[in-house]
Amino acid sequence: MGNGIRRTSVDLRTDRAHGARIYDYILGGKDNYAVDRAAAEATKRIWPALPVHMRANREFMHRAGRYLATECGIDQFLDIGTGIPTSPNLHEVVQQVRPEARVVYTDNDPIVLVHARALMTSTPQGRTAYVEADLRDPDSILSAPEFRETLDLTRPIGLMLIAVVHFIEDDDEALDVVRRIIDVLPSGSYMAATIATDDFAPDMLAEVRRTYHEHGEALRWRSRAQAAQYFEGLELVEPGIVQMHKWRPDDPAALNIPEADIAMYGAVARKP
């Protein structure tokens, strides 16, 4: 696969849906399977706003990455739960501001590994790397040679956890693994995260979760109070924890999206 990608044997696990591939299908990609398309279509029948929600999540990642590079001076990033490459990817966003920026991508879906070359189109001044790893095993990320050789742990890092912690259904486990990663990051680092919630359409989203489970994929909704736990000990950037489309929107028209159409909180916070 080229420099910066650790290759393992690939089992695409096409017998069950995967969040990265459902996301790819909704965004118009081609790297998905019948089970993923079935899960997406079943979900859209229950919750027609699914494409609006997923596009809003992608746009939050772009805004948060651009904010960290532009306003906070962050030039190295760890993106966990990267998903199937869809341009512009994080490195394309931040290297527009900081051509020297370095990005380590990680995901646990083997199909992302297959397409990881698209994540390796760094500027000459910067660098990207890919690690096939699972958020549930943070040590496998933090000990990976690709991580250690690409990012400098003596300087601030931007941790991106975009639409990923809801795939860990146990609340204590999800908080623990995120905290273990934050603990390793130096002072002045930031975390940008989107946290799935059913606060705004609980009955409809209960059916969405059931549909995900029926197709073999995990999904855990969390309240605003639960979302806030991920940011404990960090300094929230204004406007704090809000529905993700309300976090520093580029277009004020985004605020017109009905609250029931967005099922994630978004926030950015600094590690003191």
- How does pLDDT run across 3-17, given as a tens digit for each residue? 344 444 455 567 788
Tell me the residue type at 25: Y
Residues with Cβ within 8 Å of 74's Cβ and at least 6 positions away in sequence, in order, are: 68, 94, 101, 156, 157, 158, 189, 190
pLDDT tens digits along 172-194:
999 999 999 999 999 999 999 99
Please say whether the beta carbons of 189 and 271 come within 8 A.
yes
In a domain, 9, yes or no: no
Give me 120's structure tokens.
Answer: 């390796």
Q: Give mean pLDDT in consecutive 10-residue pieces for the chain, a chain of 272 residues.
A: 42 73 84 88 92 94 98 98 88 97 92 78 94 94 96 98 96 98 98 98 95 90 98 98 98 95 98 98
Give me 205's structure tokens.
Answer: 């989203």
pLDDT at residue 5, as a whole number: 45
What is the Cα–Cα distance from 247 to 253, expressed in whole angstroms? 13
Helices vs strands, H then E, count in the chain? 10, 8
214 lies in which domain range? 19-270
In a domain, 144, yes or no: yes
In a domain, 143, yes or no: yes
In a domain, 4, yes or no: no
3-state secondary structure at position 193: strand
In a domain, 6, yes or no: no
pLDDT at residue 117, as a whole number: 74
- Which CATH number covers residue 131? 3.40.50.150
Please say whether the beta carbons of 223 and 36 come within 8 A.
no
- Total count of domains within the chain: 1
In a domain, 87, yes or no: yes
In a domain, 254, yes or no: yes
Q: Is 93 exposed, middle or buried (0-12, 13-18, 19+ CB in 10 A)?
A: buried
Residues with Cβ within 8 Å of 75's Cβ and at least 6 positions away in sequence, in order, are: 69, 94, 98, 100, 101, 102
Alpha-carbon dihedral angle through residues 70, 73, 76, 79, given to the nearest 10 degrees: -50
Return the sign of the alpha-carbon dihedral for residues 19, 25, 30, 35: positive
Cα distances from 94 to residues 41, 55, 250, in angstroms, run 33, 19, 16
pTM given for the model: 0.91
206 phi, psi to nearest 5 deg: -65, -40
In a domain, 99, yes or no: yes
